[in-house]
């Protein structure tokens, strides 16, 4: 089962059979958030894709070390020698680490709400300044970086003499040079393509550390190289991130790693695609975004109502992680109904009766689920198969198909594994054990009263009970084998 998993590798632009560097183990690094503001739903999508991937590896029995960093040292902006975190800090009269703390907590709370598994290690850039300085020194020693006025730059042209800068993003440095815009304040660089490894801190700059080249702060590409190497080794299996990080960020990571260790750092590069809103990429800077909190409350001009975390997750899992997904209220409403249908079927499982023969091929169905996931984590196909199971369950419940207890066990085991362990969905209706049991007994009481009324053909009372319960979010359904209810 684990042998035929194939992964689309952005480095080769092909699907490749996944073979871990060390049998049975997976090392995975994913670029985490810059904690200078609230994450928006687009950010969440990428992390969710890799959460699903992490979950599937675990499900297959791999020992996974999943590293996802927190960028708390800030990134350079193009027009000032200071970074986002420091800029915001001054505006709000807060310590940089106060901003970091605030938005790190926010990030964690959001992910927890969406039922994310925590990564194995969540290192911070500020916690690895020493390692970054060491790496810079190594690159300088290897002749691939130079020092100017207290800053250190990576010498892209020099690197490109022996290596290919652009191997991931499929660019040629020569083309890049021709098309580079002339930017102000880059006179320190030998070449516009060069990127900062260490940046001198201006006097007003708040985040600053001592280094052999003076007081400053690390360049934004370096932390990922240093932290991935430290926790996963000089070469590791999977590096993930959003499509928009491919260039320059990931390209620079490759160059830095090669410059340090003379070895390609990553075997499989994976890139999740963007979540768009109104056909455009979500971005903090343009205001074209939805915050996760707004999804829950519905407090956004693009939303007619709030949606649960699990519905949102289901919506995202209905698209392949490498496809652009467009967010819309209409799509969310559709996802909500589909999600409900899936959960209703799962709730029906305990009520199924078994037979001495099966009229459905559970083994075949199960294999199809694995085939879908093994084909580059194709969750939309998996979900299509899950709806086949929904149909099975409903038909068995209606007495139109039959299943043995062995097959039922397999069905339950498989569907639970995929719905809850791999896709990470929640079944809200069965969340709180005791409360649910008590609610169930009370609702069943009403159902009995209503059945008595129906037996007397007292439709007025019967309908009143149904309508009043519906008004409280409890919906009755009259099936062949009695009345059941669902919560909304």
Partner RNA sequence: GGCGUUGUGGCCGAGUGGCUAGGCUGGGCUCUGCAAAAGCUCCUACAGCGGUUCGAAUCCGCUCAACGCCUCCA
* Nearest approach, Cβ of residue 436 and RNA (Å): 19
* Nearest approach, Cβ of residue 487 and RNA (Å): 13
Smaller CB distance to RNA: residue 163 or 326?
326
Packing angle of the helix pair 405-416, 379-397 (nearest 10 deg): 140
* Nearest approach, Cβ of residue 338 and RNA (Å): 3
Please say whether the beta carbons of 52 and 377 come within 8 A: yes
Smaller CB distance to RNA: residue 135 or 275?
275
Q: Name every residue whose Cβ is closer than 8 Å to that of residue 200 and which is 6 or more positions away in sequence.
A: 81, 149, 150, 151, 213, 214, 215, 216
* Nearest approach, Cβ of residue 63 and RNA (Å): 25
Least Cα distance to 265 among 240, 239, 234, 241 occurs for 234
* Nearest approach, Cβ of residue 441 and RNA (Å): 21
Q: How many alpha carbons fall within 13 Å on the CB side of residue 90?
A: 9
Q: How far apart are CA 316 and CA 224, in angstroms?
A: 27
Smaller CB distance to RNA: residue 182 or 435?
182
* Nearest approach, Cβ of residue 95 and RNA (Å): 20
Smaller CB distance to RNA: residue 264 or 461?
461
Smaller CB distance to RNA: residue 274 or 415?
274
Smaller CB distance to RNA: residue 20 or 282?
282
């Amino acid at each position: 089962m684990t042998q035929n998993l194939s992964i689309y590798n952005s480095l080769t632009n092909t699907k490749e059979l996944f073979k871990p560097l060390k049998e049975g183990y997976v090392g995975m690094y994913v670029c985490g958030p810059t904690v200078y503001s609230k994450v928006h739903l687009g950010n969440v999508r990428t992390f969710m894709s890799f959460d699903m991937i992490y979950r599937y590896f675990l499900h297959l029995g791999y020992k996974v070390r999943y590293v996802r960093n927190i960028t708390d040292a800030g990134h350079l902006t193009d027009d000032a020698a200071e970074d986002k975190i420091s800029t915001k800090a001054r505006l709000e009269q807060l310590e940089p680490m106060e901003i970091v703390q605030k938005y790190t907590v926010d990030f964690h709370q959001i992910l927890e709400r969406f039922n994310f598994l925590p990564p194995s290690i969540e290192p911070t850039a500020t916690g690895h300044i020493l390692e970054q300085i060491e790496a810079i020194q190594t690159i300088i020693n290897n002749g691939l970086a130079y020092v100017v006025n207290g800053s250190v730059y990576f010498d892209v042209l020099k690197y490109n003499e022996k290596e290919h800068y652009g191997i991931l993003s499929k660019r040629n440095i020569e083309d890049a040079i021709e098309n580079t815009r002339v930017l102000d304040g880059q006179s320190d660089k030998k070449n516009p393509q060069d990127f900062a490894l260490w940046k001198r801190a201006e006097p007003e700059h708040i985040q600053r550390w001592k280094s052999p080249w003076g007081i400053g702060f690390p360049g934004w590409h370096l932390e990922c190289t240093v932290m991935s190497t430290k926790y996963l080794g000089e070469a590791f299996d999977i590096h993930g991130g959003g499509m928009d990080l491919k260039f320059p960020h990931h390209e620079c990571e490759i160059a830095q790693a090669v410059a340090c260790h003379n070895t390609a750092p990553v075997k499989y590069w994976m890139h999740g695609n963007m979540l768009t809103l109104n056909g455009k990429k979500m971005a903090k800077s343009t205001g074209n975004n939805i915050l996760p909190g707004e999804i829950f409350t519905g407090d956004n001009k693009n939303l007619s109502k709030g949606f649960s975390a699990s519905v949102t997750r289901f919506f995202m899992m209905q698209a392949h992680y490498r496809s652009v997904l467009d967010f819309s209220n209409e799509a969310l409403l559709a996802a909500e109904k589909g999600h409900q249908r899936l959960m209703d079927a799962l709730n029906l499982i305990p009520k199924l009766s078994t037979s001495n023969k099966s009229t459905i091929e559970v083994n075949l169905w199960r294999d199809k689920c694995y085939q879908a996931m093994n084909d580059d984590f194709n969750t939309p196909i998996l979900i299509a198969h899950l709806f086949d199971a929904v149909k099975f369950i409903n038909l068995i419940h209606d007495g139109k198909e039959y299943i043995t207890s062995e097959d039922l066990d397999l069905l339950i085991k498989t569907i639970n594994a995929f719905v809850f362990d791999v896709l990470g969905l929640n079944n809200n209706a069965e969340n709180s054990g005791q409360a649910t049991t008590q609610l169930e007994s009370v609702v069943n009481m009403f159902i009995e009263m209503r059945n008595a009324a129906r037996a007397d053909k007292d439709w007025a009372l019967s309908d009143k009970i149904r309508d009043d319960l519906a008004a409280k979010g409890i919906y009755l359904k009259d099936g062949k084998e009695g009345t059941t209810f669902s919560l909304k």
